[in-house]
A and B are shown apart, each in its own frame.
Chain A
Amino acid sequence: MSYDWTPLLLSFKLAAVTTLILAVIGIPFAWWLSATRTRFKPALEALVSMPLVLPPSVLGFYLLLAFSPNNFFGKFIDQWFGVRLAFSFEGLVIASVIFSLPFMVHPVQSGFQSLPASLSEAACTLGKSRFVTFLRVLLPNIKPSLLAGMVLAFAHTIGEFGVILMIGGKLPGETLTASIVIYDEVGSLHYATANFYAMVLFAVCFTILLVVFLLNKKILRAGG
C-alpha cells in the first residue's frame, strides 16, 4: 500500500518557512522586548502570549475574516501583492507565524534577559553600534535559547491543527497538512492511513528534539 507523502511534505515546508520568518522577525523583536522601557510592554507581552491561551478556533475565525477578499486587509493584500490569503499556503504561513510567535519570542527574550547588562554596556563604551553588539556579542551568547526558540516554533507549527482547519480549506498540496489528514482519515475509519501519518510525525518530531537536546548539551559543555 502506497501513501501520499504530499501532506507530510507540506507540513514540513510550512514549519520551515514559518520558522525562518520567525527567526528574522521574532529574534529582533524579542531583543527589543527585553530592552525596551515602554509602558506598553505588558500589553505587548500579553498580546504575544495570547496564542498560548486562546482556542485556535478563535484566532482562526478572526484570521478568516481578515483574509477574506471582501474585507479591508484581504482586499489590500490581494490588490497590491496579488496574493489570496484565504484558503492558501501564504495564508497558512501568516497564521502560523502569529500562532507560533510566543514559542520563538519567549525563550529568546529570556535568553537576552539572562545576559548581564554590562555586556552590551561594555560594547557600547568600546564604540560598537547596537547592531554590531547584537550580532557579535548578544546573539552568540544565547545560542541555546535561539535553538530552543527555533525548535519550539518548528515543532508547534507541525502540530498546528485548529487554525489550519479554520482557514486552510483542505486543498491538497496547498493547505492540506498532515495533522488535518490524520483527523480526516480517522473520521473515514481509515486507521491504517492515519497511523502512517501519525507515526511519521511522531518519529520525525522525536528525532528533531533528540538532536537538539544532544546539540544543546554539547554547546553548553563548550561554554557557549
Chain B
Amino acid sequence: MKISLRKNLGAFALEVELKVEEGELLALTGASGAGKTMLLRCVAGLEKPDSGTINFHDESWYDSARGICLPAQQRRAGFMFQDYALFPNMTVRGNLEFAQRKGASRKRVDDLLEMMALGDLQHSKPATLSGGQKQRAALARALAAEPRLLLLDEPLSALDRETRLRLQDEILAMHRQFGLTTLIVSHDVSEIYKLARRVAVLESGHITREGAPADVFGAGHEGGKFRFAGEVLAIEQADVVFAVSILVGNQIVRIIATPDEAAQLKIGSRIMLLSKAFNPMLQVV
C-alpha cells in the first residue's frame, strides 16, 4: 500500500509519504494530536484528504488528481476504534454476524469467537463486558468482515498492563494467522517493540523517523548485544549510587545507576536497558 497525502488540520498540515508492504505490521507513534488517528481515518475512507493518492495493491482508493475517492464501504479496511464502537443493541455474536459479508459462513463467526476466547460471552451485550473483552470483541468483529487491511487506533491504551500484554500476544497470533497488512497506532514503546518490525514516528503531521523500533528509538548506535524497552518504577538512593527498579515486559529488574544517570530518570520514564558485555547501562529514550 502506498500513501501520499496532505490534509490541513488547522494548526498544521498532515503531510505523509508512507509505503506499507503486503502483510506487514507497521506501528505509528508520536505525541497526541500529531495526526496519527487522522492518517488512519483517511486510509479507511472516513475522512477525505485535501490532496494526494492512496493506492492499495493496484487499486486506487483516493486520487485527488483523478477525482477518485472510494467510499469507506468499498475499501474493506477493518478499523478498530479507541472506544471499540461495539453496537450496544446487539450481542457479541450479533455484532460479528452483522459485520459479515453477504453469504459468509456462520463457521467463521464460531472460529473467531473461539480464537478470541469469547465463546462464553457470545450472547452478552457489550455493556456487560470488561475493557479487554470489548477489545477482543471489536477485533473479532473487524475480522468477521474479512478485511483486506487492518487499522488499529490505540487498541490497547485503555487497558490495564496485564490485559494489554495478553492482548498483544493475541494481536501477534492473529497477524500471523491472517497475514493481514496492519497499521497500529501505539504510544507504548515496549508494545511497538513486541508487535512491529517497523515503526514510523509522526510529529506535527510529518513522519520524522521511520525504521526498525531499535533504530528509531535511538539505541542503534550503542552496539549493545541485548536491548529491552522498560519503564522506571522506582528510584532509591543507596549510599553513593542509586537502585533503579525497572519493569521489562512483566519482570521487575533492579539496576544500579550513578547519580548522574539517576538525575535523568523519573518514575514512569521510558528507558532502554542495554546489556553491553557485562555492564548493563541505562539510557533515556
Contacts and interface: CB of A to CB of B under 8 A. Distances in A.
B76 A119 contact: no
Interface in B18-75: 44-46, 72-75
B89 A121 contact: no
Interface string A114-149: 001011011111111100000011001100000000
A118 B72 contact: no
A223 interface: yes
Contacts of A128: 73, 98
Interface stretch (B80-88, B182-190, B255-263): B80-88
Given A127-B74, A129-B73, A223-B127, A122 B85 contact: yes
A148 to B, nearest CB: 17
A86 B236 CA distance: 89
Given A136-B98, A223-B125, A223-B127, A125 B87 contact: no
Query: In the complex, which of the residues A118, A123, A125 has the most CB atoms of chain B within 10 Å of its own CB atom?
Result: A125
A127 B87 CA distance: 15
Contact of A224 (B45, B85, B89): B89
B166 interface: no
B79 A127 contact: no
Given A118-B83, A121-B81, A223-B127, A141 B89 contact: yes
Given A121-B46, A223-B127, A127 B85 contact: no
A141 B87 contact: yes
Given A127-B73, A128-B73, A116 B44 contact: no
Given A141-B89, A223-B127, A224-B88, A124 B73 contact: yes
Given A129-B73, A136-B98, A122 B81 contact: yes
B274 interface: no
B225 interface: no
B107 interface: no
B83 A116 contact: yes
12 contacts: A116-B83, A116-B85, A121-B72, A121-B85, A123-B87, A124-B45, A125-B142, A126-B98, A126-B99, A141-B87, A141-B89, A224-B88
Interface of A: 116, 118-119, 121-129, 136-137, 140-141, 223-224
